[in-house]
Every structure is written in structure tokens, then in C-alpha cells.
Amino acid sequence: MCGITGYIGRDEALDRVLGGLQNLEYRGYDSAGVAVTEPADGDIAVYKRSGEVDQLLEAAPAESPSRCAIGHTRWSTHGPPTDANAHPHTDCAGRVAVVHNGIIENYERLQAELSEHTFTSDTDTEVIPHLLEDRLAAGDDPVAAVRAVSDRLEGSFAFCAIVEGFDGVVAVRNDSPLVLGHGEDGTYLASDVTAFLDRTRSVTYLENGDVAVLEDDVTLYRDGEAIEPAIETIEWDADAAEKGGYDHYMHKEIHEQPQALRQTISGRLEVDSGDVDLEVSFPTEHLNSIEEVQLVACGTSYYAGLYAARLLETLADVRASVTIASEYAFEGGRDPWRTLTIAVTQSGETADTLSAIRAADQAGARTMAVTNTLGSTVTREVDDSVFIRAGPEIGVAATKTFASQVATLALVAVHIGRRRGALSSGRASELLGNLRDVPGAVQQVLDAEPDVDAVAAEYADSDAFFFVGRAFAHPVALEGALKLKEISYDHAEGFAAGELKHGPLALVTDQTPVLATLTDGGDADKTYNNIKEVQARGAPVIAAASSSDDRQVNEHLSVPDVGLFEPLVANVYWQLFAYHVAADKGRPIDKPRNLAKSVTVE
């Protein structure tokens, strides 16, 4: 995801901020930039480039006398990774520079209001400097202007601004993290402590709504009142610091899911009306004539596709098929003009998936990508792209991208259902309300991690693990097993719960725990019949079950009430289970043997 850095103090600010950007490089980004306040005249100078921080280093001066600067690494969500779209963004006169993380949901509305201003990028961010320009012209000081602008923004964001003639940085936080670092040479500001941990370990975490003003001293405003910043000391070592205090990227990414999901749905759903805005332009006549939606994908993305196919059939009244991309062919009985083929791929570079979408395109089908990566190969080859906005995922095991893929595909299903007239606004509204509650529900699961850790420790040495589920819980069973096998190297299989008795039951013993998803959207009553079958063979049962469920199982992990998305939330328990089993066994969790993050061969 994007990274923010800032500095004001006795030392060279450009050097400090560029150093901070280099420290944030591990997070993944596609462009970078800095803005400095020139001490001689208070003017602002901006340097920015698409690509690596190294390219920015070539563009920026080798030295600068400035003592005040802000910087940014961008991971594109609105507009491709170009020099123009890189942060900082400025107002018309170049008197204000802004770096921003998160998404401004109402940016199009604000941009329409700012019709007198000249915009030079595709980003949502750029409304901020232009709004600040208006407030400053109306007589606000920089702090009042930032407050007023922040009040007008919808979504989750954090931004920092420097203003010509003002020797300081003003920053505000709303749902996207910001932290201050109190160094001996000056004050640092960043979206992540790793940016300045080589300079200071004394930090203050901003809370939502906080406004921080960095001048010679720091003033922190909470609810409009200046407060004393609470200072904490970071104890992590350098390696843990890079992972945000977690031992592994996978663990960090599991915990990033609430934020990733908020970004996925941000600005895209209208719960009251049941409408979805995906910024794609399917002609309605095409949607009305579609007979089949095909999903093509591999691995975890294939399981997200299975979840989505069921959503499409349930909500959009359209036949939906899912094919493992390496097995895809555009076969008989299909009319390409009445087919929409969706490539589901986190990286956008998976060779099997690219090959499948090319085959669909050649056959004449309309194509779409659901991906995490702006500018990836798949986005250049399809008719439409929808971005899942999960932020970069570094661990080989996909976690947050699965959650964001399912959430995005749910929006696609609601969009198609509404446009085809197959889904009432009331039902859509209910579903979107459930989807809006998913980030909070995932957080509740994450809060129960100590329980999962204990369960993992108890069962880690089992002979094998079987994951079962029905309906929307079936892909979750498959994904749960994949996660466990790839990072713990234990034998794990996922089954449709009803299939156990058709063969796999022969493998079930008292040494093979069965991990069952017993939630809404997972046909829990029928699944429980299958659970009785394994219990009769002595298998211990670990259930991720709806909170009200009181069926007899060995371990009960409670899933909050979010309708058809409960299996998606239950999946977080299986991610944590896999993580703790693998951690107990000392496996190299982020780089499991024989596997790669992006598979670019067929």
C-alpha cells in the first residue's frame, strides 16, 4: 500500500525523507515523490517519478538546504503508475503539496465543485490540494484549512500537507495509519514506523480525527483541543520492524484484512439503494444478453472464483462456470457474444490465467480482469478491469487478496444482478449491508487469535487434516486446506461435506481432525449430518460456526453474523490455524518450499 514520510528538524529534510522512502520499499509501490520547503523563500519544490525510489533519487537534487519535507511511495488505485499520478500533488499555483494514503470516496463530486481548478492527474488525491487552495484563499491558516478540508472528505485516508510560507507540516488521520517519531534531530512522520526506526524508537500513534502540526515543536489536536502526545517506545528488532512487528508477512497480511476489505469496498457501494459503482462500462444490452459468466483462475484465486460463481448464479440469475485456468478451452455449446469471461488473478501475471483469457478473447467473448495490480499484463489484454485494492501481498500464501477478491466479485455479482433486473434493491441492500459489516467481523475473528493458537498447538501433530463445507463454505474448505498444506507441509484436503461418505471417509480416524465451516451460506444443518459421520469414526471436529450455533463439536470458533459472507469470515480462522501450525513447526512461512508468489510459466 502507499507509504507516507515527513520530517522537520535540524538536519537535511530531503535526505531524511528519501531515507524513509527507501525504508518503506519492502511494502511494494510503483512510484515515489517528495516535496520540500525551500528555506530561502518558503517556496515548495516537488520531485516525483514512476518506478523505483532509485529513479526518484536521480530526479531529486543531491543536496538541499531544506529542513522540512514530505514524501510518498504510491501503490496505484486511481490512475496508472505515471509521473503525473505520483504524489505529492499540488494546487494550481504550486503553493500547496500533499501526500495521501487511502481512498477519497467522494472525489468525483468534489472535483466537479472545483471546476475552476486545473487538474493534472487521474488521482482521487488531487482534490485535496485544490480544496486547500480555496480555504487558504478564503483566509484560513494552514491548520484550519487542513481541518476544514478533512471534514469534507469521505472514505478512509491520511494526508500531510506543506504550504508555501509556512515552515511546518500539517497531517490528519482518518482510518489510515499515521505515526510521529520523536528524534533528537527533529520530528518524523510516517504511515509506518519502519520509515524512521533507524532514527528514533520514540513514537506517537495518531488516532482517528487527530491533527498533528509539526513545526519546531509538535502540537497534536484531538477533538479540536491541543493534547500532550502519548509517547511509546518501539522494542522490535529491525527484521520484525519491516514486517510491522509481526514475525512473518503472512501474519501481517492476515491482520491487514479489515483495512484491505475497507479499501476494496470503499466508495463502491450504496447500501440504502442497493447500488454498486464499479467504474466499468458494460453496455447494459450486453449484460442483458449474457448467457454465461465464465471465471478462469488458479489456486486461491480459483477458490475465490468458486465463491463468486455461486454468488453470480444466486444474485444475477446467470449461468456461471469456474475453470482452472490451465484446463480452460472455449468449448462447444457457448455463444461468445453471450459470454463474459473473468480472469481472477491477484498478480495479473499468472501465465495459465493469461493464456485462458487470451483464448476467450480470441473466441470473441467479452473479457474482464479482477486483479490487485494496476498496469499488470492482464489489465492490458481485457475489455474491463476491476481492482481489488488489497495492497501489496508479499507472503507467497495468498490471504488478504482472497478476501478482497471475494468481496470485489460480490460487488460484480450485485452490479450484474441489478443491471439485469434480477436482483431487487431490497435484497441488494441487505447483501451490501452484510458486506459492509465484513471488515468488522474479520476483526472480531482476529481478536480471537489466542484461541486459534491454542487449538493449533493441540492438533498440530495430527496425521492429516480434512476441511469440509457446503455451498459458499465449500470453496472455503478447499482454500483452508490449501493454506495449511502449502505453509505447514502437512497433508490437508478440502471436501464438499456431502462427498465424505463417497470416499474420503475411509481416511478419517481419531488422528485426523475435521475442520468444518458451519455458518450461514454454508448449509450448516446438512454439514452437521456429515460431521456426525466423522464423529462416529472418532475424528475431533473443529468448527468455525455461527455465533448462535451450539452443536456438539470439540472446538467452537465463533463467526459473527454477516449472512452469505460468513464462510469468507470463517476462512480467517483457517488462515490463522494454518499460520500457527506452520509457526509451531518452524516452517519458512513466507517462502514455502517449491512455491513462488507469481507463477509466470504454464
Helix (H) or strand (E) holding 343: strand 339-345
Q: Cell for 575? A: 488462515
Identity of the residue numbered 164:
E
Residue nearest to ligand M6R (CB): 299
| Residue 30 C-beta: closest distance to ligand M6R, Å | 16
Query: What is the smallest separation between the CB atom of 574 and ligand M6R, expressed in angstroms?
Result: 12
160 noted as active-site residue: no
Cβ nearer to ligand M6R, comparing 32 with 390: 390
Q: Which stretch binds ligand M6R (CB under 6 A): 242-250, 299-307, 547-555, 574-582?
A: 299-307
User: Dihedral, CA atoms, 556, 590, 298, 523, nearest 10 degrees?
Assistant: 0
Residue 345 near ligand M6R by CB under 6 A:
yes
Note the residue count of the chain: 602
Residue that has been written with the C-alpha cell 480452460 in this structure: 328
Judged by CB under 6 A, the residue of 214, 396, 452, 484 near ligand M6R is 396
Residue 68 a catalytic site member: no
Q: Which is nearer to ligand M6R, 67 or 580 (CB)?
A: 580
The bridge status of strand 169-174 relative to strand 211-214 is antiparallel
If the CB atoms of residues 69 and 398 are measured against ligand M6R, the closer one turns out to be: 398
Please work out the total of residues on this chain that contact ligand M6R, with binding judged by CB under 6 A: 15
CA angle 69, 71, 74 (to 5 degrees): 165
Rounded CA-CA distance 480/262 in Å is: 23
Estimate to the nearest angstrom the gap between the alpha carbon of 218 and the chain centroid. 32
Could you give the C-alpha distances from 146 to 95, 300, 505, in angstroms and in order? 14, 42, 63
Exactly one of 194, 200, 300, 323 binds ligand M6R (CB under 6 A); that residue is 300
Interaction between residue 377 and ligand M6R (CB under 6 A): no
Who's near 129: CB < 8 A, 6+ residues apart?
Answer: 89, 90, 91, 96, 97, 98, 161
Q: Which string of b and e fits 478-489 if b means at least 16 CB within 10 Å?
A: bbbbbbbbbbbe
Task: State the nearest-atom distance from the C-beta of 99 to ligand M6R, in Å.
Answer: 29
Q: Is 301 in the site for ligand M6R (CB under 6 A)?
A: yes
Is 353 near ligand M6R (CB under 6 A)?
yes
Q: Which is nearer to ligand M6R, 187 or 373 (CB)?
A: 373
Minimum CB distance to ligand M6R, residue 105 (Å): 26
Q: By CB under 6 A, is residue 398 in contact with ligand M6R?
A: yes
Region label for 586, one of left (φ > 0), alpha (ψ between -120 and 50) or beta (otherwise):
left
Per DSSP, the chain holds a count of helices (H) and strands (E) of 18, 27
CB closer to ligand M6R, 396 vs 432 = 396
Three cell numbers at 153? 472528505
For the bound state, the minimum distance from the C-beta of residue 396 to ligand M6R, rounded and expressed in Å, comes to 5
Q: Which of the following is catalytic: 92, 585, 591, 597?
A: 597
3-state secondary structure of 161: strand
Q: Which is nearer to ligand M6R, 524 or 578 (CB)?
A: 578
Q: Does 346 bind ligand M6R (CB under 6 A)?
A: yes
Identify whether the C-beta of residue 135 lies closer than 8 Å to the C-beta of residue 148: yes
Q: Is 429 in the site for ligand M6R (CB under 6 A)?
A: no
State the minimum distance, in angstroms, from the CB of residue 285 to ligand M6R: 31
Angle (nearest 5°) at CA 583 between 399 and 447:
60
10 Å Cβ neighbour count for 222? 15
| Site for ligand M6R contains 298 (CB under 6 A) | yes
The percent helix, strand, coil of the chain (3-state, each to 5) is 40, 25, 35
> With CB under 6 A as the contact rule, which of the stretches 75-83, 249-257, 340-348, 427-435 interacts with ligand M6R?
340-348
Task: Provide the minimum distance between the beta carbon of 400 and ligand M6R in the complex, in angstroms, as a whole number.
Answer: 11
Q: Does 486 bind ligand M6R (CB under 6 A)?
A: yes
Which range, of 344-352, 416-424, 510-518, 578-586, touches ligand M6R by CB under 6 A? 344-352
Q: Which helix (H) or strand (E) holds 501?
A: none
Query: Of 25-33, 95-103, 196-204, 342-350, which part binds ligand M6R (CB under 6 A)?
Result: 342-350
555 or 590: CB nearest ligand M6R:
590
Dmax (CA) for the chain in angstroms is: 81
The amino acid occupying position 14 is: L
Q: Which range of residues in 105-113, 165-173, 298-306, 566-574 is near ligand M6R by CB under 6 A?
A: 298-306
The residues, any chain, with a CB within 8 Å of residue 92's CB and separated by 6 or more, are: 117, 118, 130, 133
**257 touching ligand M6R, by CB under 6 A:** no
Member of 347, 404, 408, 546 binding ligand M6R (CB under 6 A): 347
Which of 2, 68, 160, 298 is labelled catalytic?
2
Q: All 3 cell numbers of residue 225?
A: 483541543
Interface with ligand M6R, residue 264, by CB under 6 A: no
Separation of alpha carbons 39 and 64, rounded Å: 9
The span of 207-215, 296-304, 443-451, 544-552 binding ligand M6R (CB under 6 A) equals 296-304
| 31 phi, psi to nearest 5 deg | -165, 165
Minimum CB distance to ligand M6R, residue 324 (Å): 10
Q: Point out which span in 28-36, 295-303, 461-469, 515-523 binds ligand M6R (CB under 6 A).
A: 295-303
User: Can you tell me which of 23, 350, 462, 517 binds ligand M6R, judged by CB under 6 A?
Assistant: 350
Q: What distances in angstroms separate CA 422 from CA 317, 566, 569, one per listed residue?
A: 6, 23, 26
Residue recorded with cell 494526508? 159
Give the active site residues: 2, 597
In the complex, the residues that contact ligand M6R under the rule CB under 6 A are 298-301, 345-347, 350, 353, 396-398, 486, 598-599
